[in-house]
A and B are shown apart, each in its own frame.
Chain A
Amino acid sequence: MGFDRIREKLNILADAAKYDVSCASSGSDRTNKTKGLGNASKMGICHSYTEDGRCISLLKILLTNHCIYDCAYCVTRKSNDVQRAAFKIQEVVDLTINFYRRNYIEGLFLSSGIFKNADYTMERLVAVAKKLREEENFNGYIHLKSIPGASDELMYEAGLYADRLSVNIEVPTVSGLKLLAPDKKHEDFTKPMLKVKNEIVRFQTERKIIKSTPKYAPAGQSTQMIVGASGETDKDIMYSATYYYKTYQMKRVYYSGYVPVADDARLPAIGSQVPMLRENRLYQTDWLLRFYGFAVNEILNKEYPNLDMDVDPKLSWALRNLHHFPVDVNTADKRLLARIPGIGMQSVEKIMKARKFRRLNWDHLKKIGVALNRAQYFMVCDSRHWERRDLDAEKIKGMILQTSSGKFRNQYSNQLSLFN
């Protein structure tokens, strides 16, 4: 097989895989014990960045873009008229090894269109990982896609070779799934997730007794949801994300703003803007839930089914709950500190340490890195100056917006009404 053919295939199959946003190579601690090739870096390494600013850490390709399904949101759906190609197992192995040896990548991210049936496809994916591990003595990072509907036996085998497994749920609601991907059942997605979760739990308990228990997906599992394809609210998205974090112990849920790839009445038209700001707000919410101790129903509920676009979710929560503020940074406990807008978890840690030495004033907080333009309305510190006026939420919001700038501001500024 000539170089030109490989090149053509790589172009087709990398292009088709780019809509998977996950490129994490962190969380695994596989070591290179036998003088083989590669190891996994616990914190992950981004070897380059695409021109849209996303990290390139793994060789992210499809094994094939032939697919028996016809999901409306997907670029490789059966009815789409695109060039099709398929890699041989050996070709993927060679590419991975040669890229890895040149320090281009941390490892392989292998996904695939579904040909024949789920198990047949999954078998091929597992075969690639197995070959890399056993024949090439490769200890780098491997991320495999779990194919919806794959059998438990294959999922077990996949976890033995891969560092991370993921199934993309893509459409956050069951009704949306019926509309956009009529041939897929919701259970097909959750079955492999459940198997992987149970195996990880089993591995972790057995590891405590028998040290040599073979590793099972040490970097856990993740999933991805498309945002803005099926008219779902932010509440729908975040509630199902919470469900997946809880039920399947996901390491990460990714949110991917829908990039229009098809002319379909059920979807936004080609050329419509990618909802990047909304995606950003969803990630902010995700962080609030995972690291800041917020509960999902505090941020999104029946009254507020969507996130504010002009301010971040924490500030918007604070504006709705002014009765919790102001907070005294020199005495408040960690949980409360984390809820002040403009103070992130890093600042919280620094404040907790620094206030053992002395009472903190505005200058200290500024040096620590607190965003005072937001925080000043919600806190008091060791200073006679603090916000004494009895401001209401709209006033505060207006003042904060006036003193800050955002790169998405032009997208929504015309929607703000003048007399608020």
Chain B
Amino acid sequence: MNASITLIYDGSFNGFLTAVFVAFDEKINVADIQRNGQCQNGLFSDTETIFTHVEKAQRVWNGIKGKSHNAISNVYFAFLSEAEGVEMMLYTYIQKLMRTQTGKYLDYSDSTVLHISQLARKVGREKHRMEAFVRFQLTKDNIYFANIEPDFDVLPLISKHFRDRYADQQWLIYDVKRKYGIYYNLDHVEMVSLNLREVHFNKVHKSDAFLSEEYDYQTLWNDYFKSTGIKSRINPKLHTQHVPKRYWKYLSEKKAS
């Protein structure tokens, strides 16, 4: 039996897929797959660093997709959850998937399969939430800017939605936690990193990057939010269930004014 090896990749999805390719190709007995910078050496395993190779990654992507469309989105979504040890679980998942005839009937009583699909569902929920909770603010440079702090790395997932919807305006969505953003320049979306000194602003603590008209519209929106609620039906529990408190600081209608 081969000695088990820990694979180290660069943290990108392509890097992970390359690692899977290498593992299958060289029939490696994988001990773990770890992100560069977060690796812990196993006592009885060697490490091997994987260099991201787009073509190899593409082959794994196509291979999974050929088995099942549902599976490829599950793999991608679950990867973006950044959960600890998700790489190894995904590797097991892909192994199980490749063993099936059609890829269609995965047994959901299997714990790996169930866990991956639950993770993917969580990430999907966060994606949908971000499509709803992004609040653009118009800057003086005529860019619609929004801060977010999602639980999972969903920027790559929401990019298409915003590109399709706001095709005629420049916009930038910035992930405060992961320190990168996506910027649409009226033609295509690119990744950017910013040097933000301060992140949180409200009506009192204003940023001079925004137009005063911007704050007018925020006031109108906050007013609208208040006047559209019916007082005799108030239900705070249901309200926080739908709009969890951790998002409040980015919602102009909820943050302290």
Residues of A within 8 A of B (CB): 3, 6-7, 10-11, 14-15, 17-19, 31-32, 35-39, 41, 45-56, 59-60, 95, 98-99, 101-104, 137, 257, 259, 274, 276, 354, 357
Contacts and interface: CB of A to CB of B under 8 A. Distances in A.
A19 B227 contact: no
Contacts of B137: 102
Contacts of B132: 45-48
Given A56-B228, A101-B166, A259-B230, A48 B253 contact: yes
Interface string B34-49: 0000000000000000
Contacts of B239: 49-53
Interface string B132-154: 11111110000010100000000
Contacts of A102: 135-138, 144, 217, 221
Given A6-B220, A104-B135, A36 B167 contact: yes
B144 A101 contact: yes
A7 B223 contact: yes
A59 to B, nearest CB: 7
B214 to A, nearest CB: 9
A404 B2 CA distance: 56
A198 B135 CA distance: 40
Interface residues of B, number: 48
A50 B216 contact: no
B228 A357 contact: no
B225 interface: yes
B240 to A, nearest CB: 9
B223 A11 contact: yes
Interface of B: 107-109, 128, 131-138, 144, 146, 161, 164-169, 216-217, 219-221, 223-225, 227-239, 241-243, 251, 253-254
B133 A14 contact: no
Given A6-B220, A15-B227, A102-B144, A46 B242 contact: yes
Contacts of B253: 48
A132 to B, nearest CB: 14
Nearest to A31: B164
B129 to A, nearest CB: 10
Contacts of A7: 219-220, 223
B251 A48 contact: yes
